[in-house]
Amino acid sequence: MKRIFPIFLSILLILGLFPAPAYAAPDWPSNISIEADGGAVMDADSGAVLFGKNLHETYYPASITKVLTALVVLENCDLNEEVTYSYDAVYNVESGSSNAGLDEGDVLTVRDSLYAMLLQSANEAANALAEHVAGSREAFAEMMNEKAAQLGCQDSHFANPSGLNDENHYTSAYDMALICQAAIKNPTFLEIDGARYYDLPPTKNYPEGSTVYAHHAMLLPSRSDYYEGAFGGKTGYTSLAGNTLVTFASRNGMTLVAVVLNGHQTHYSDTKAMLDFGFSNFQTSRISDLDSRFSSLGSDMSIAGLPTGDLSGLALEEGMITLPLTSSISDADVSVTYDLGERAPDNAIAQVQYTYNDRVIGSAYLLNRIGEAQETTITLPETTAADSGTSGSSADGETPAAGDSGAEAPSPAQSADGGSSSAPDSQNSGSGSQGSTGGFAIPSVVWIALAVAVVIAAAAGAVIYLNIQRQRREEERRRRQERRHQRLREIGVSDEEFEQMMAARKAARQADRGDRKSKR
């Protein structure tokens, strides 16, 4: 607490010296529209959402789910581990859904299975990988939801690794952009996802081996939908999800992620429109190249005559910011928060966030670069009395900071008159909150009271948050049901007919299992 207080005051001082502009920034570009029900284009470096349609509405993702599946697998497996395909992994899929022709008993590596899943969109490969990592698809789905939460997703719930129809399997355009932003930071994911084809080893159905090919038309120069700069992505389709698509593209130092949900056979043209919009209207830059208002953190500072200590160990990380081409950093507002999430680095002190007309366009963490043993150099002094005749350690056992000119507070073992400038005994007999030259330290009872207040506030906030989340989940479930009913009406199927179709499909799978077991 004592370390944060002077830093907080220092940053407030800096923001006061460089106030945000009082005038309104130019309008955010808006010359774009898409046909899909949901969509987004995000700058992968800054996290800024350049355009969004129904950004936080939930939709069925279909096979773009496999981006998250691949990310979880890569973080928990070695590529050379062997995956044995179970009967359930191969046949617990919808009839006619995407597959790579793999069968029960086939053994492939994790690498082989990832290529089959991402290029061929093989559902049996997704199932087998899930079983290999977590023991079951259900346990793997829990891992998917945990990972999504870590990435900041708030609108999603994943029920299987493949993306096949399930009313409890949904996401939003914003959440899917976050997942893709994380995935493309993994070089192995990029290598696999960006491949045009891959040769699988011999299997039961293909003794000579087989080849899987990329399905994403924007990656293929021979296709009319090819997009220059596109380097990865994933396609998806089910009868309820419609066309879904995620695409990654890079031009002129800017990397974009585009997401289409519930597309109406315009998923490629919608994606092109969003990518063109992003590349034509925005630029990405390092925050440190545009904003110097935090550069004074490297110097000793004082506030109202109270030294804050040597802040040279603090540094703003190399964050990125996205701005319209027609604007500058002076059009952005800046704020500082100390409420850091789970994704913050361990040595983060605060987060500096940039907004443009209330739209988040970038952020960077303020980091403490010095070691734990030196952290007490950034603190309010217990006393400002200089003991010019004494050398050695400070009162708390730490070596004085370089900017302190060797001055130190008397240790508890020193007598009140042990230094040439010490105060009379009568002034030192109190609680220690008053130093001999007017310096002060905040009494411990104040910190205890503040800590208790923070704990109470956090507990109350947690209760409120859980209630809001519960209400939100109920509302999302209701909206998903309404969208499913609407989608069924669009394709001319009643609710009763849909339930009959699902029951018949389930019975057919069970019968197929029985036939195969009897043949064995």
The set of catalytic residues is: 63, 66, 121
Q: Please count the helices (runs of H) and the strands (runs of E) in the chain.
A: 13, 19
Token readout for 505 is: 């499909």
Determine the residue type at 287.
I
Query: What are φ and ψ of residue 496, in 5° steps?
Result: -65, -40
Query: What are φ and ψ of residue 417, in 5° steps?
Result: -105, 25
Residues 105, 107, 113, 115, Cα dihedral to 10°: -120
Listed as own residue / partner, the contacts of 327-336 with beta carbons closer than 8 Å and 24 or more positions apart are 327/25, 327/26, 327/356, 328/290, 329/290, 329/291, 330/21, 331/21, 331/25, 331/26, 331/356, 332/25, 332/356, 332/361, 333/20, 333/21, 334/15, 334/20, 334/291, 334/293, 336/11, 336/15, 336/366
Cβ(308)–Cβ(6) below 8 Å: yes
Alpha carbon separation from 415 to 25, 411, 425, 435 (Å, rounded): 61, 9, 9, 14
Question: How many angstroms from the chain centroid is the CA of residue 320?
Answer: 14
149 — alpha (psi -120 to 50), left (phi > 0) or beta? alpha
Token readout for 314 is: 């603090």
In the numeric block, the tokens 């299975």 are attached to 113
Q: String of b and e for 419-443 (b: at least 16 CB within 10 Å)?
A: beebbeeeebeeeeeebbeebebee
Structural element, H or E, at residue 363: strand 359-368
Determine the residue type at 175.
D
In the numeric block, the tokens 């009763």 are attached to 496
